[in-house]
Every structure is written in C-alpha cells, then in structure tokens.
Amino acid sequence: MKIRNRITLWITGAGLLAGLLFSIVISYELIEQPFELLDGELDSQAHTLLAGCISHEGTLVPQTNRTMLNSIGRLYWLKIFNKKGQIVYSSPMTQYADLPLKKKHGGYNVNATIPRDVADLEQDGSNEVTFRVRVIPIPFSGQDYLVQIARPMEKLQEELIDLVVSIIAGLLLFTITLLLAGYFVAGKILDPIARINTLAREINDKTLDKRIPLGKHRDELYTLSTSLNQMFDRLQFSFQRQKEFIANASHELKTPIAMQRLFFSEVLQRGDLPNDLTDRLAGQSAVVLRMDRLVKNLLELSMLELKEVCTPTRVELTRTVTAVLSEFEELMQASDIYLDVELEDAVFVFADEDNLRRMLINLIDNAIKYNTGEKGRIRVSLARKNNEAEISIYNTGIGIDPAERDRIFDQFYRVEKSRASTSGGAGLGLTIVQRIIELHHGRIELDGEFGSWVQFNIFLPLIVPD
C-alpha cells in the first residue's frame, strides 16, 4: 500500500477514535439528562398531586375538590398506596395499563401496549407506549404513603432516537471529511519527499556533480537530503577514482604496446624467417594492433569522462568535415565505395575540434567498415536546421537490427555479426561518439533499414551570428 494511503488511514483512524470517544461522552450526557429532568419532574408532581389528593386529616379529598388532579393529574399515571399497601387513589390513566411497582431509587422505563383508539398517548403504529416510572415514599400529615407516578414519554424517545441517528450521521460525515482531509494532508507531507525523489533520480553517472538543494528548515527532510548528498559525494569520488584508474592503466599500457608493435614490424620486415614463423608473427602482430586500438579507445573514453580533453573554440564544421573526409578518400576508393558529399558553407559551432574530428572519424570509419556488399555508398551532409547544425552520415551495408539500436552506444557492445568479423573494433567507437556529443550538448539520432542502410544524424548547437 502506498505511504500516502497509509498516512490517510492513520489520520482517519486516529480522528475516528477521538470522534467516537467524544460522541460516546456527549451522547451519554445528552441521553441521561432528559431522564434526570423527567425524574425530577415526576418527583415534584408526586408531592403536589399527593397534597391535592389527601387532606390534612388523612382522608381522600372529595372528587369535586380534586381540581389539580382533574387538570394536571390527567397527564400522569398515578397510584397512591397507604402504608398497608392499599391503593388510596389511582388516576384515570391507570385503567389503560398496569405498570409494575419497583422500589428503586431512580426512575425506570416500562413498555405497555395501549391501543390508540382507547387513549391517544402519541404511541407509534404498534400501539406501544413507553412510560417513565418513579416510586417515591412520601410522608404526609403524619402518614407514610407510597406514590407510583409515571408519564408516557413517546415524544422524548423519538427525540432520543433522532439524536442517536444525528450522531451516527455526524460520525459518518466526519469520517468522510477526515478521509479527504487526511489524503490531502498526506499529499502535503509527502510532497517534499517526492521532490527529493525526482531530484535524486535526475542524478546519474553523467550528472554525479548535481546535488539535492537543501531546504530552509533544518527538519527531517533536510537531514535526508544531506545524507543523500553525502552518498552522492562518496559515489562521485569512487567513480572518479575508477575513471582515473582506467586512464592511468591505459596510459601505462600505451608505451609497452607501442614497443611491441615496433618490434613486430621490424621482425616482419626481415626476409630470412621461415614462412610458418612469419605467419605466426603476423597473427600476433594483428593481436597487438587490436590491443593498441582498444587501449587508445579506453584512454580516450576515460579522458572524455574526466572532461580533461574538452577545450571548446569557434569551429567551422564545414572545414573539419572536409578535412576528415579527405583522410578517408584513399580507403574509400580502395573499398570501392562511392562518396556523396553535400556541405553547407560557414557552419560554425562552439566545440573542441579534436573531439569533433574523433567523432567524425569513428562514424565514417564505421560507415566504411560495415559497408559490406558491392557498390557501397556513403553520403555525408551538413546543414543548418533551426538553431542547430545537422551532420548526417549515411551508408549502405548490413544495417542495424531495430532491436539492437538502443544498445549500440553501450560500452563494449558489438552486434553479433560484427563480433565475428575481423574488421570491427572493441565496441567503444559509438560510446566515444555519444560522450563527445553529450559534452557538446548535442544529440544523436539513428535511422535506417535493417540489411540495407544506416544513417546517423548528429545535432550540435549552432553559434548564432552576431
């Protein structure tokens, strides 16, 4: 479950628990209070009615003089017992229902069935009437009486039911509001974490110098950002060490390999060696040559990673492309490849010229290497497009399987077919190309048809004329 949902549930749960406790206390108070008031009323009416019913001589007041009983007394179910337990008086309502006599301190509820057509006591459809009953011993004029007084409380009960329904509805509404508010609050709480996450995701091996900006408040998120930044510091340091190690190792390997190459070329020039030995030496010489290329590529790549070989100046691309193409002229003729060139004049970029040359060499070298089949063609064009210079290098040949397109820029990645061929390098050529383009804030796109042709389009930001 998402943290946002979990926080929402926690907030709702805690709020609901508090709401529930609050409602219980409130409902208890609200339900108890009317009963207490009613009991108080029954108590005082019991005294009043007893006084209206029994004379000071202890005899029953004659019917005609019982004004109070005839007016107020009609509203109450009333029985007055003398100390022998004999009924001295019973009000008219007692004929509808017989309520049990319980000698309790407080009041109690009794349900009785009284048909509505017999007496209208606001009973519901089932003719059920709830009475609140009190039994009170009252000494009067030297005699002890027991007064049982009751009152139908249908209205009160309805109101109490309404009250409970309102509390439940209120609780429901409260829960829904709490859920919505909780979800919103959880979003607010997690918002800075989501921002840190986005920023942390933007930091990769190419942008290890980026850091998460620290907030103003020294809170938990500040600590989290600081810890992440410290982790990036350590990562950057070890990446740097790794790159430096590769750069140093390739640099150290360069000289012994150059000496070996020299040795093989000198030995192979001798004409007095047996043929089989010459063949074996030629084989070894090819291995050393490949090793030389690999080490040079590794050194180049690690220098690019360390950004130590990028000194941008104003470069006229038209001139650079022409110069590189002229270096390949002979090789293309020897490989029977027809070259088509279409270059716009005076296309200027702000770049490191050596890097641009390396990029063009790698791409054109590949365009020749993978231009298998007869009547090969290479087309190189340069044009301005919006604010960019677009260099396109097209070649016929084996093409690139669409499934391989995303991977050919990976380090040491070579398509299976070219792995088998002797012409290929170590799979670092396009990695170097991509790194150079990244350093110049450009981009590279690939187009083509598998088995037929390939076109690399490179876009570099133009220098806008003043």
- For 362, the token pair is 């790698």
Q: Closest separation between CB of residue 302 and ligand ADP, Å?
A: 16
Nearer to ligand ADP, 414 or 435 (CB): 414
Nearer to ligand ADP, 54 or 364 (CB): 364
> Quick check: 71 and 105 in contact, CB under 8 A?
no
Q: How many CB atoms lie within 10 A of CB 36?
A: 11
Give the containing element (helix H, strand E) for 318.
helix 317-334
Nearer to ligand ADP, 107 or 425 (CB): 425
Cα 3 to Cα 81: distance, rounded to the nearest angstrom: 71
Q: Closest separation between CB of residue 413 and ligand ADP, Å?
A: 6
Nearer to ligand ADP, 225 or 418 (CB): 418
Nearer to ligand ADP, 432 or 462 (CB): 432
- For 36, the token pair is 């207490």
Q: Closest separation between CB of residue 460 and ligand ADP, Å?
A: 19
Nearer to ligand ADP, 337 or 430 (CB): 430
Q: Closest separation between CB of residue 284 and ligand ADP, Å?
A: 21
Q: Are strands 337-343 and 376-385 parallel, antiparallel or unpaired?
A: parallel
Q: How many CB atoms lie within 10 A of CB 331?
A: 13
Q: Are strands 77-81 and 143-152 parallel, antiparallel or unpaired?
A: antiparallel
Cα 132 to Cα 149: distance, rounded to the nearest angstrom: 8
Q: Closest separation between CB of residue 242 and ligand ADP, Å?
A: 21
Q: Closest separation between CB of residue 335 and ligand ADP, Å?
A: 13
Q: Which residues lie closer than 8 Å to 392 by C-beta, 6 or more apart?
A: 379, 380, 381, 382, 455, 456, 457, 458
Q: How many CB atoms lie within 10 A of CB 77?
A: 27
Cα 213 to Cα 230: distance, rounded to the nearest angstrom: 12
Nearer to ligand ADP, 182 or 425 (CB): 425
Q: Starting at the edge strand that comes first in sequence, how are the strands of the sheet with 453-461 ordered? A: 337-343, 376-385, 388-396, 453-461, 443-449
Q: Closest separation between CB of residue 372 and ligand ADP, Å?
A: 9
Residues engaged in binding ligand ADP (CB under 6 A): 366-367, 370, 395, 397-398, 400, 408, 413-415, 418, 424-431, 454
